[in-house]
């Protein structure tokens, strides 16, 4: 992909953009979350994105997070439309035994979080983010070949021109280097539904 078309939503203090890779060194106390359950709002994580009006596509990226070591350290794929409408998928470090592989969808200022527990030894993950107009699918893979569905969601402000890309953050007093590579934008790999007819 042409990384020169990507633009920052909140530029991090320390980063590097190469020909094929992006590195973000997270700053402490950076996060994305809105209201639900915790009743706080965090909206200061750096996000590097490109814009498109293409209604059907898939975006693939590999994330490496060898240095993540502190509770809630995270990096992954994101679609940040504005502070109250966005989604993300990532591995979030918890402790020396396990992490959370999950996704957050935020519509109109309220976030929800869906997770599954994975071993703390996992230090890389692929994601495939797919769009069908204003519906979205997030998938993950350990090898970049075989992807498993994480979530299908609808975005209230997800029509027309959108921004999508990658993010990294450290909600607590921590910092780590996140590396993004093998990025590509392809035809939509999330196929049209073959089953029950629409209402």
- The string of DSSP letters for 88-151 reads EEEEEE-SSSEEEEEEEEEETTEEEEEEEEEETT--EEEEEEEEETTEEEEEEESSSSS-EEEE
Count of alpha carbons within 13 angstroms of residue 126, beta-carbon side: 16
Nearest to 53 by CA among 158, 161, 187, 130: 161
pTM for the full predicted model: 0.95
Predicted local distance difference test score (pLDDT) of residue 18: 95
Predicted local distance difference test score (pLDDT) of residue 12: 97
Q: Which residue has the tokens 């998938």?
A: 139
pLDDT, tens digit (0-9, with 9 covering 90-100), for 21-66: 999 999 999 999 999 998 899 999 999 999 999 999 999 999 999 9
Q: For 138-162, what is the mean pLDDT? A: 98
On the question of pLDDT at 197 being above 90, the answer is: no
121: Cβ contacts below 8 Å, ≥ 6 apart: none
On the question of pLDDT at 194 being above 90, the answer is: no
Nearest to 184 by CA among 136, 124, 128, 103: 128
Report the alpha-carbon angle 180-99-155, nearest 5. Answer: 65
Predicted local distance difference test score (pLDDT) of residue 62: 98
Give the domain ranges of the chain. Answer: 3-186
Residues in the chain, overall count: 199
Q: For 149-175, what is the mean pLDDT? A: 98
**Candidate CATH numbers 2.60.120.200, 1.10.150.20, 3.60.130.10, 1.10.1040.10; the one for domain 3-186:** 2.60.120.200
* Residue 5, SS3 per DSSP: helix
175 or 1, greater pLDDT: 175
Q: For 65-71, what is the mean pLDDT? A: 98
On the question of pLDDT at 7 being above 90, the answer is: yes
Nearest to 189 by CA among 126, 130, 101, 144: 130
- 99, 122 Cβ separation under 8 angstroms: yes
């Amino acid at each position: 992909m042409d990384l020169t078309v990507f633009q920052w939503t909140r530029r991090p203090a320390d980063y590097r953009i190469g020909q094929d890779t992006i590195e973000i060194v997270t700053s402490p106390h950076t996060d994305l979350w809105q209201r639900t359950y915790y009743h706080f709002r965090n909206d200061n994580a750096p996000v590097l994105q490109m814009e498109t009006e293409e209604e059907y596509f898939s975006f693939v990226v590999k994330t490496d997070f060898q240095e993540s070591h502190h509770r809630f350290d995270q990096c992954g794929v994101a679609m940040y439309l504005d502070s109250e409408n966005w989604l993300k998928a990532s591995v979030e470090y918890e402790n020396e035994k396990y992490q959370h592989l999950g996704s957050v969808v935020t519509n109109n200022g309220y976030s929800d979080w869906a997770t599954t527990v994975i071993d703390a030894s996992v230090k890389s993950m692929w994601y495939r983010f797919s769009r069908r107009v204003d519906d979205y699918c997030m998938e993950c893979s350990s090898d970049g070949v075989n992807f498993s569905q994480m979530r299908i969601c609808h975005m209230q402000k997800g029509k027309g021109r959108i921004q999508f890309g990658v993010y990294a953050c450290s909600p607590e007093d921590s910092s780590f280097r996140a590396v993004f590579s093998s990025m590509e934008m392809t035809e939509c790999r999330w196929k049209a539904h073959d089953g029950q007819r629409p209402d």
